[in-house]
């Protein structure tokens, strides 16, 4: 999530001292109205598991841990979790606040509970598999999504130049999607010399930024991506964050859908963000988990759920009650401020969800875990 690095940057400075619409054709057809809610099989209740909590590597320069934006794939008997990790390589050299960035790291597990860093000997950031790049458009990268497709590991991420704006409030815009690939799941190479594979479209829902891709493989061998589009100025559809879609036949070339999957008008609050898209393994149902943006300090962001029985492009019916809430008022709890950015996988008879927990201070970002039995 874009705001995580902004808030962490502010906290660390103290700790350390110092497309007029997309012209692509829409994919598939969209019914004029969604089926009745009774057509959907909603998942059962979610249980948070404190013993699965993951904080990442404490930074050598500040002692502050940071882990965000989880993406998990089950690779045989191994769980691979990719996440946004704090990267202070440039900041350690310059001491300049805007040089605080993030890279993509990976940990693995055999039980989805205890995690080991890959690349343990990486000299600056344990587990780092795709580093930020100095003096490039992707000086900070985050919100990764991993999928194993046709024998190759595809790792998508958002990138932006964290030094391109005069103030931290502007940081993170514009952002585009890039791709790295691997044959072994550990050693990744940037595709197309690291240039973006998908960029914002002027005036559209993603005019300012593209974040949080979530990808599912379809039965016809193609890929479908849900992602968060940000538009705040000169927006044809009004300023908001919306959930959008794109299609690909090979994982490299993508075509955006013209219509959004979910917008602020579909949700009871200001907007929606950070999708986690899952297909039911037995039914033709697509579950769209997402962050519900709530502009209320006494309520905080929550995790909601929508579903479609007509395909990944929707239309989606929003479940009335949200499925995961922050523990407001519990000052000792790490998720007192928000629960956001769900990542959900189907694992035999259960659903596993990893998500971001935002704790009592601006620097408190960690990855939480909850699970639910399939109905």
- How far is residue 274's CA from residue 128's CA, in Å, rounded to a whole number? 22
Write out the two tokens for 237: 């559809």
- What pLDDT is attached to residue 27? 29
pTM of the model: 0.87
First to last CA, the chain: 31
- The DSSP-derived string for 41-97 is ------EE-GGG-B--PPPTTT----EEEEEEEEETTEEEEEEEEEE-HHHHHH--G
The architecture CATH gives domain 2-16+30-373: 5 Propeller (2.115)
Measured between alpha carbons, how far is residue 103 from residues 117, 162, 312 in Å?
Answer: 14, 12, 29
Dump pLDDT digits (tens) for 23-50.
232 222 333 455 655 555 666 688 888 7
- What pLDDT is attached to residue 40? 59
Q: Within the chain, which residues score under 70 in pLDDT?
A: 1-44, 58-65, 122-123, 162-172, 266-270, 296-299, 328-336, 361-363, 375
Query: What backbone torsions phi and psi does residue 93 show, to the nearest 5 degrees?
Result: -85, -35
- How far is residue 25's CA from residue 259's CA, in Å, rounded to a whole number? 10
- What pLDDT is attached to residue 139? 86
**Taking phi first (over 0 means left), then psi (-120 to 50 degrees means alpha), and beta for anything else, what does residue 90 get?**
alpha
Pairing assessment for the beta strands 152-160 and 176-182 based on DSSP bridges: antiparallel
3-state secondary structure of 105: strand
- What pLDDT is attached to residue 8? 39
């Amino acid at each position: 999530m874009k705001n995580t690095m902004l808030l962490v940057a502010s906290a660390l400075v103290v700790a350390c001292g110092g497309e007029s619409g997309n012209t692509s054709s829409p994919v598939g057809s969209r019914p004029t109205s969604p089926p009745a809610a009774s057509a959907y099989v909603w998942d059962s209740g979610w249980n948070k598991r404190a013993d699965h909590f993951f904080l990442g590597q404490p930074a050598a320069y500040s002692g502050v841990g940071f882990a965000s934006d989880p993406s998990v794939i089950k690779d045989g008997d191994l769980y691979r979790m990719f996440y946004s990790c704090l990267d202070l390589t440039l900041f350690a050299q310059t001491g300049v606040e805007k040089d605080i960035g993030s890279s993509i790291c990976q940990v693995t597990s055999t039980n989805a509970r205890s995690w080991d860093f890959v690349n343990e000997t990486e000299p600056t950031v344990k587990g780092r598999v795709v580093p930020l790049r100095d003096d490039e458009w992707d000086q900070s990268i985050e919100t990764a999504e991993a999928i194993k497709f046709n024998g190759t590991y595809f790792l998508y991420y958002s990138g932006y130049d964290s030094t391109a704006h005069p103030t931290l409030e502007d940081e993170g815009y514009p952002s585009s999607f890039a791709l790295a690939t691997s044959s072994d799941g550990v050693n990744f190479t940037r595709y197309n010399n690291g240039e973006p594979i998908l960029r914002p479209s002027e005036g559209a829902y993603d005019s300012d930024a593209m974040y949080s891709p979530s990808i599912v493989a379809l039965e016809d061998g193609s890929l479908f991506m849900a992602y968060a589009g940000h538009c705040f100025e000169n927006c044809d559809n009004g300023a908001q964050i919306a959930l959008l879609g794109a299609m690909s036949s090979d994982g490299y070339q993508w075509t955006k859908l013209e219509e959004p999957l979910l917008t602020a008008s579909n949700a009871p609050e200001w907007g929606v963000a950070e999708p986690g898209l899952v297909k039911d393994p037995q039914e033709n149902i697509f579950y769209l988990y997402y962050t519900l943006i709530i502009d209320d300090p006494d309520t905080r962001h929550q995790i909601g759920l929508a579903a479609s029985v007509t395909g990944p492009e929707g239309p989606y019916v929003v479940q009335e009650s949200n499925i995961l809430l922050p523990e407001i008022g519990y000052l000792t709890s790490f998720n007192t401020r928000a629960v956001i950015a769900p990542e959900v996988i189907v694992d035999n008879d259960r659903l596993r969800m990893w998500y971001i927990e935002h704790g009592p201070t601006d620097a408190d970002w960690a990855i939480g875990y909850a699970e639910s039995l399939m109905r």
